[in-house]
Amino acid sequence: MKVEMMDDLDDTTICDSVNSLVEGCRLPVRMKGTDDWPLAELISIKESPGFRLYYVHYVDFNKRLDEWVTEDLLDTRKVHFPRRDCVINTGVSTPKRAPVGTGGQSVSRPSSPVTGELVNGSAVLAAALQKRINNNKKRKGLSLENEDSQDAPPPAQQPALPGPRQSGSMVAHHDDVITRMKNVDMIELGKHRIKPWYFAPYPQEMVGIPCIYICEYCLKYRKSRKCLERHMVKCNLKHPPGNEIYRKEHISFFEIDGRKNKNYAQNLCLLAKLFLDHKTLYYDTDPFLFYVMTVFDNRGFHIVGYFSKEKESTEDYNVACILTMPPYQRKGYGKLLIEFSYELSKFEGKTGSPEKPLSDLGLLSYRSYWAQTIMEILLSMKPVGDNEKPQITINEICESTSIKKEDVISTLQNLNLINYYKGQYIITLNKEILESHRKAMEVRLIRIDPKYLHWTPKDWGKRAKW
């Protein structure tokens, strides 16, 4: 097996004993349940009676696969030891998949392309050039956040009045050793037992117990099922707090104000952190609205997923964090959450985009949603006259879908729909694309029906306080 050399490590060394291993070493480790031996980094080592356990992060794999392994799963024939002349950097996490069109950087949002141009005109080219220019720009004003919020103190020359946040709740950040390790073994939420994927800052007394028991209605956490049963006797909620703004058949959406329902919002953020690697905001919920999707039965309204949204976004984000709970994934609920967020944007008369970075699963869901939504628009177009090709502008696509311009353009590029022909940029829909879209729409059985959305957007910019 060939193991690539790392720039920040000494030459590969044959390790005479597992006792020589230290935190920060990299070596092949057999991934449980497979016959693969990917390169992994030792994050932590702990002694157990009679044996040692090693917490490993598989390099180039998502952190949700991190796990404790025994020494028989370690290949000590080739070990990369940390340099002696530098601090062991155990805070390097898996390289995050870059958002579409960012060139590996977290960048400021590209300016809009020239308006009014047809898709088969020069708007796409102008936007592509603009995006390339922006690829090398780094987002400004981001502060690292490891605890409660990311709000920076207001500049001295500015009055300390409430205003738009300069950043949201999900940012690229450096983790320490503690936050890189899963600290909760299991949670029980309603009838589901779920194994968490990532670290979450639950109180210390909740960490280390075999299972955390969570009320599926108010999301309060308890140490034992007996404690949860006593809580359920007193809990008067059968649905999330806040206003029910959508209900069709068994699916409902509730809008929760992070200031008015602070305890619920904080508990929701803690729960979400178990399954969102990049989420860094847990307690500063005042500037956010939370939209919780539930399914209804004779026992009550059961949480399926949620997304949060800044009351005021300087970046035109219509989603801050988004999560479908693991028991409900791969059932169409993720796209339903995304579709609902864009329906809210339509009611507001705005275009929007999710906050970056997206998780790997989130990026796949958004790319799929954008592709299907844009394809629906293109297939519904009619020619203006006889022997004429249908024409549509980038602006028209954005206005009808509320999808941000750069997301529309990147989706068209990813689908390879844009071609240069006789001096013009045109969109070409081949049979393969059409067949793929048809199959995708056949399995997308649940959709948002705007007639069932009863919601009036608020202008938070006119409010001195939330």
Active site residues: 355
Q: For residue 76, with 0-12 CB atoms within 10 Å meaning exposed, 13-18 middle and 19 or more buried, which class applies?
A: middle
Beta bridge partners of 310: 288
Based on C-alpha coordinates, what's the Rg of the chain?
A: 25
Q: How many CB atoms lie within 10 A of CB 95?
A: 9
Residue whose C-alpha is closest to residue 110's, from 132, 80, 89: 132
Distance CA 367, CA 53 (A): 39
Backbone angles phi, psi at 223, to 5 degrees: -80, -25
Distance CA 416, CA 18 (A): 50
Exposure string for 426-438, b = 16+ CB within 10 A, e = fewer: bbeeeeebeeebe
Tokens for 52, please give them.
Answer: 């040692």
Orientation angle between helical segments 360-379 and 394-401, nearest 10 degrees:
110
Beta pairing class for 353-354 and 317-319 = parallel
Identify each DSSP E strand in 215-286 by its residue range: 221-222, 243-248, 251-257
Alpha helix stretches (DSSP H) within 325-426: 333-348, 360-379, 394-401, 405-414
Peptide bond before 357: cis, by omega within 30 degrees of 0? yes
3-state SS, residue 424: strand
Amino acid at the residue 359: S
Distance CA 416, CA 437 (A): 14
Exposure string for 369-378, b = 16+ CB within 10 A, e = fewer: bbbbbbbeeb
Long-range contacts of 57-60 (CB under 8 A, 24+ apart): 57/93, 57/94, 57/180, 58/29, 58/31, 59/26, 59/94, 60/94, 60/95
